[in-house]
Structure 1
């Protein structure tokens, strides 16, 4: 954390920014090691160019912040107190006034912006989103180690789901079995709402699991991930339940080829947009181009969706230490959908698949 804060302070000094005001959950964790769900209460980090940073949080969270490793100043407040008054007092003591204020432009709410304006009426604002994203883009060895373990737990979640497939069970029942077993392993937070989608439901990339009973002859799509020590995993696997049609088999084989061929391009120096174009060309040539509606992947780290964005127009290049997903899909109404997704790390030798659950088509009887 100290190195990250030092880099940010250097940026503030070089750009005449008097304070960075950070309140996004992922960025707070990245700079403090403290991850919490504040609800409507203010939790923020103030970083200054020439003074020690300060964390602001409710009194009920102070001990948790210290347990997470934060050893610098903390402004605690009770529910009957106004944290902004305490912030104004603290910043006046370190002579912060009338200078540039750095914010998270993509995350700052209107009401929180109004409170900032009232607290610091003479400041101009500048967005720091790109600085935060650039810092988070390249993972260090400690981060990679956690991401590997998070990926293993995602593999385990899919394994539980596949073993739970049984005629008469509903999507929600299978979903609950997956999350129950992950909680038994100590996972308290999923990266996002777990998906178990069957039949026509699987043709919706972000469908909503329901009380639908799974049926023979359907695709069953699992999409899930866990949060482990603040870092996210994300895996998708699709299996056949009972016998499937020739068209379903073709769809699956097309997605698998698109995924495998795209993975082989994952190495330092590859243009990100080329990954999307590669998978899209394979799917289009097979006649399913209109049924691949999303990008090939997204970055992975303290958020399940972060930079880089692997869309066809991205001209950035892959760098060692980047972690992201590769997840082509085909979704045909009335037939079903297939998505195959892995978590990928760029290494000096090419790439490493962090997720390892088998991708060859499984037929569950």
Structure 2
């Protein structure tokens, strides 16, 4: 049973007639075609007992067909009303009042209202998101191979970034150096903007690379990701420039112990919340629990953040093929921040990381 057939089976089993897919990543997962249409409309309609169609900007039609998608593809011009045209195609296939399943986590309210206007008798109450999350949860061997290749390029990016570090150089300059090296090697897409944070700036876990300059005797945090054939990598490392103070060195060693403990424990049968607790207990025991302010990890694959969350309260048991990050962090304001991260996939008896850059503290002498 292929992916579209799985959705058709779910529609039939749940009393639904049509699934409307609006997330570009989900369309890519189902068809191999990816485009970010920005303000334009890209939609895939899957019927429980008829062939699907894709509707999108006319300028994308040939690219969709080039993926090998053999069902109808309909394009619209910018001056045309896409919602009326979508409704016309649905009415041509389905004359009854219909039950629609939508991706509630992805469909904008404005677009739902547009659908309700052109399909006034339709019921849009069914949520397709949990099914899509479950389908994308367990990666195939082919998907894992793509994630491995993305991970190799992440290792390359980390190494290049380390070599670019110099006292007096800005975070922006270091990020530019590593991104240029990736581009020269044909890697044109990143999972997210490269993050380089030096000294106390690294205590902002969702900060941004800036004009902040690297100084001697401080830690520098890297969080980098690349994309290979639609699949992402994501890894974090923290290195030392000169000889940082004892507090910085201590939080590094505690964070490393937590990351290694969780990665060693990741295997089929353990729950997501149990894995989070293993890392969190290490950090709490060392006296830094209040500074570990996020979940241990997030799912990953075609998107940087996917289902599931590795966090307290999630009792889902890990299964072979699940892919997620293990990234404890300790962030002490005005002092330093440390995060150490590998993304892994669960195997039959443990886990394997997608990145292999050493996690022992690396020193850059200046």
When normalised by structure 2's length, the TM-score is: 0.97
- Report matched runs for 1:123-272 at 5 Å: 123-125=122-124, 126-272=126-272
Q: Where does structure 1 differ by over 6 angstroms across 4 or more consecutive aligned residues?
A: none
CA distance in 2, matches of 1:337, 1:260: 18
- TM-superposed CA distance for 1:71, in Å, is 2.1
CA distance in 1, matches of 2:310, 2:350: 17
1:322 maps to 322
> Judging changes above 3 Å, is the alpha-carbon distance between structure 1 residues 270 and 90 closer, same or farther for their aligned structure 2 residues?
same
- My pick for the range that moved more, 220-229 or 320-329, is 220-229
What is the DSSP-based 3-state SS (H/G/I as helix, E as strand, rest coil) of the residue aligned with 2:2? helix
**Count of matched residue positions in the alignment of Structure 1 and Structure 2:** 364
What is the DSSP-based 3-state SS (H/G/I as helix, E as strand, rest coil) of the residue aligned with 1:338? strand
Unaligned 5+ residue runs, structure 2?
none
- TM-superposed CA distance for 1:242, in Å, is 1.0
- Report matched runs for 1:1-365 at 5 Å: 3-125=2-124, 126-365=126-365
Whether the aligned pair in 1 keeps the contact of 2:200 and 2:337 (CA below 8 Å) is: yes
Unaligned 5+ residue runs, structure 1?
none
Whether the aligned pair in 2 keeps the contact of 1:18 and 1:96 (CA below 8 Å) is: no
- Which whole-Å deviations, capped at 9, do the CAs of 1:52-108 have from their partners, x for residues lacking one? 110111111112112233221101111111122221221111125412110011111
CA distance in 1, matches of 2:332, 2:222: 17
- Which whole-Å deviations, capped at 9, do the CAs of 1:283-306 have from their partners, x for residues lacking one? 011110110000000001111101
- TM-superposed CA distance for 1:349, in Å, is 2.6
What is the DSSP-based 3-state SS (H/G/I as helix, E as strand, rest coil) of the residue aligned with 2:45? strand
CA distance in 2, matches of 1:186, 1:96: 49
- Which whole-Å deviations, capped at 9, do the CAs of 1:228-262 have from their partners, x for residues lacking one? 11111100000011111111111110000000011
What is the DSSP-based 3-state SS (H/G/I as helix, E as strand, rest coil) of the residue aligned with 1:144? helix
CA distance in 1, matches of 2:109, 2:318: 35
- My pick for the range that moved more, 31-40 or 60-69, is 60-69
What is the DSSP-based 3-state SS (H/G/I as helix, E as strand, rest coil) of the residue aligned with 1:70? coil
CA distance in 1, matches of 2:66, 2:94: 30
Whether the aligned pair in 2 keeps the contact of 1:97 and 1:120 (CA below 8 Å) is: no
Whether the aligned pair in 1 keeps the contact of 2:256 and 2:340 (CA below 8 Å) is: yes
CA distance in 1, matches of 2:349, 2:265: 12
- TM-superposed CA distance for 1:13, in Å, is 1.2
CA distance in 1, matches of 2:251, 2:314: 27
What is the DSSP-based 3-state SS (H/G/I as helix, E as strand, rest coil) of the residue aligned with 1:264? helix
CA distance in 1, matches of 2:174, 2:95: 54
Whether the aligned pair in 2 keeps the contact of 1:273 and 1:311 (CA below 8 Å) is: yes
What is the DSSP-based 3-state SS (H/G/I as helix, E as strand, rest coil) of the residue aligned with 1:302? coil
Whether the aligned pair in 2 keeps the contact of 1:34 and 1:69 (CA below 8 Å) is: no
Q: Kindly report the root-mean-square deviation, in angstroms, between the aligned alpha carbons of the 2 structures.
A: 1.1
Whether the aligned pair in 2 keeps the contact of 1:197 and 1:222 (CA below 8 Å) is: yes
CA distance in 1, matches of 2:51, 2:27: 16
